[in-house]
Amino acid sequence: MSNQNLLNRSLQSVWHPCTQMKQHEAYPLIPIQRGEGVWLYDVAGNQYLDAVSSWWVNLFGHNNPRIKDAIKQQLDTLEHVMLAGFTHEPVVALSEKLAQLTGLGHAFYASDGASATEIALKMSFHYWRNSGKSNKTKFISLQNSYHGETLGALGVTDVAIFKDTYAPLLMQSAQMPSPDFRLAEAGESAESFALRCAEQLEHYVSQHHHELAAFIIEPLVQCAAGMGMYHPVYLRRAREICQQYQVHLIADEIAVGFGRTGTLFACEQTNVRPDFICLSKGITGGYLPLSVVLTTDEVYAAFYDDSVAKGFLHSHSYTGNPLACSAALATLAIFETENVLEKNRAKAAYLTTKMQAFTHLPIEHLRYQGMITAFDVKSESVHFSRDCYAAALKNGLLIRPIGNTVYFMPPYTISESEIDFMLDAALKSVQLAI
Ligand SMILES: *Cc1c(COP(=O)(O)O)cnc(C)c1O
C-alpha cells in the first residue's frame, strides 16, 4: 500500500523533530496530503482540525489565497538575491512596515526563531562592547523560558527536557523567578505575584548590572512552558528596571507576535518598547521560514563606524529572502484590511463561553490571552499528554498537550462551528486520557 510505503520511507530517511523516533513503533506518523483552512487532510482522506496552527505558525488557514498569490507573483519576479551589497522591494517594504508597527526602525533577518534569538544576543553584547562596556557579557531570562534550541538560544532557555543533556556545551545564564501565575501562592493575585517576582528581578539586576548585557523575555505568555500566562505589570516593571540599570530588554515575540495575545504585538498591551524584538513563526502566515530582529536607532548607531569590526558581521545565506518577505507582506496586508484583531475578539469571547463545558472535568488554571486558551488537567497518568494527543487524532483534532496542559492556538480563520468541533473533540479526548 502506498500509504504504508510513505510512512516507512519517512521513518527510514527523515529524522523527525522533537521526537523519540522509537515511539513511532507504537504511534504511526500521519501522512498529510493537503490543507484547507483550519483542516489538514491525510492521504487516506481523514481530516484533522489544526488547533495548534502547525506549531504556532499558521495565522490565516492553510491554502490561504492572498498569501499564496503573493508568493506566486514574487516567484515570477525574483526568487532570491543575497542581501549583502544588494537589496529588493519586498525586504525594504517589510522593514518599513515592521518599523512603523513596532517603533523599532532597523530590521535584521534570518530564517528561524532560534537564529533571531542568537542575533539579538550577539547584537546586545556587541552594542555594549562598541560602547566601551565590554564587561557586559551575560544574559538573564525567566525560569521555564523558551527561546529556541541552537546552543546560544538554549543557553537562555530553561526547559529541562531540551536543555539538560546539552548543559556542558551551553553558555551560563541566570534565570529570574517566573511570574507565571500558576506559581503564585494560594490567595495571591496575579498582579501582586508579578510584582513580587519583579522585586526579585530588581534585586538581581541591581547586584549584577555591570556584567549584564540583556534580559530576554517572552511577553505575557511563556508558551513552551505550557502557556504560562502572567500579569502585564511584570513587563512594565521589567522595562523600568532594565532602563534604570542599563540592561537591554529583548522581547521574544516569536510565538506571541502577530495577534496571538489579542494585540498585534504583546508588548503593546503595556506600552513597553523593548530594545530588541524577535519575530518569526506567524510572520509569513505559516508559509515560509523567516525571522527578524528589530532594534532601535541607538543600537544601530553604535555599530555605524569606519571600523569594519564594529559592524554587525553576522551572515546568513537566505537573509531577507524575497519569497518569504512577500508572504510576510501579504500577512500584514490581511491584518490591515480584514479587521482581524476585532474579529478575533469576538471569536475569543465565543470560545470562552463554550469553555464552560470543561469546568466539570478535573482541571485547573483555565486561562485565556487573546487567541490562546489553556488549562491544566489533574491526571494521575504519566502518559496523559501522549494519550490525549492520540485520542484527539482519532477524533479528528490536532492538539499537542504540553505535559498536563491542554491548549488551543488555532488559525484565526476558525469559524464558530469549527470552534464547537474543536472543543467537542478535545473534551472527549481529555476524558479518555485522564
Ligand atoms: C518557537 C520559539 C522559538 C524558536 O523558534 P524556531 O523557529 O523554532 O527556532 C523561540 N522563542 C519562542 C518564544 C518560541 O516559541
19 within domain boundaries: no
Residues 332 and 346 in one domain: no
In a domain, 14, yes or no: no
Residues 330, 355 within the same domain: no
Helices (H), 221-321: 233-245, 297-301
Cβ atoms of 60 and 67 closer than 8 Å: yes
134 plus 218 within the same structural domain: yes
The residue segments making up the domain with residue 274 are: 75-337
Atom of ligand 1 lying closest to residue 224 CA: 15
Residues whose CB falls within 8 Å of the CB of residue 292, separated by 6 or more in sequence, listed in order: 98, 107, 108, 109, 110, 116, 278, 279, 280, 283
**CATH code, domain with 132:** 3.40.640.10
- Measured from the CB, is residue 255 less than 6 Å from ligand 1? yes
Regarding whether 237 and 180 lie in a shared domain, the answer is yes
314 and 364: one domain? no
Grid cell in block for residue 398: 490536532
My answer on whether 348 and 226 are in the same domain is no
Asked if residue 385 and residue 329 are part of one domain, the reply reads no
For 127, list phi and psi in degrees, rounded to 5.
-60, -50
* 405-408: strand order across its sheet: 363-369, 372-377, 405-408
CATH number, domain at 343?
Answer: 3.90.1150.10
Could you tell me which residues are beta bridge partners of residue 40? 35, 48
CA–CA separation, 272 and 382 (whole Å)? 40
* Claim to verify: residue 260 and residue 165 sit in the same structural domain: yes
Instruction: Out of 337, 372, 394, pick the residue that ends a domain.
Output: 337
Q: How many domains does the chain have?
A: 2
* Whole-number Cα distances in Å, 430 to 117, 216, 350, 405, 426: 35, 34, 21, 11, 6
268 and 359 in a single domain? The answer is: no
Is 13 a domain residue? no
Residue 10: inside a domain, yes or no? no
pTM of the prediction?
0.98
Residue 329 inside a domain? The answer is: yes
Choosing from 337, 364, 388, the residue where a domain stops is: 337
Q: How far is the CA of 117 from the centre of ligand 1 (A)?
A: 8
Ligand 1, pocket-test mutation among 58, 115, 146, most atoms within 8 A of CB:
146
Do 157 and 268 belong to one domain? yes
Same domain (yes/no): 38, 92: no
CA nearest ligand 1 atom 15, residue: 255
Q: Is residue 15 part of a domain?
A: no
Q: Whose CA is nearest to atom 7 of ligand 1?
A: 113
C-beta 280 within 6 A of ligand 1: yes
Q: Is 136 part of any domain?
A: yes
Cell digits of residue 75: 516567484
Domain boundary among 291, 310, 337: 337
Same domain, 331 and 355: no
Residue 8 domain-assigned (yes or no): no
Q: How far is the CA of 135 from the centre of ligand 1 (A)?
A: 28
β-bridge pairing 363-369 and 228-229: unpaired
Full pLDDT tens readout for the chain, 434 residues: 567 889 999 999 999 999 999 999 999 999 999 999 999 999 999 999 999 999 999 999 999 999 999 999 999 999 999 999 999 999 999 999 999 999 999 999 999 999 999 999 999 999 999 999 999 999 999 999 999 999 999 999 999 999 999 999 999 999 999 999 999 999 999 999 999 999 999 999 999 999 999 999 999 999 999 999 999 999 999 999 999 999 999 999 999 999 999 999 999 999 999 999 999 999 999 999 999 999 999 999 999 999 999 999 999 999 999 999 999 999 999 999 999 999 999 999 999 999 999 999 999 999 999 999 999 999 999 999 999 999 999 999 999 999 999 999 999 999 999 999 999 999 999 999 99
CB 252 near ligand 1, within 6 Å = yes
User: How far is Cα 407 from Cα 20, in angstroms, rounded to an integer?
Assistant: 22
CA max distance for the chain:
67
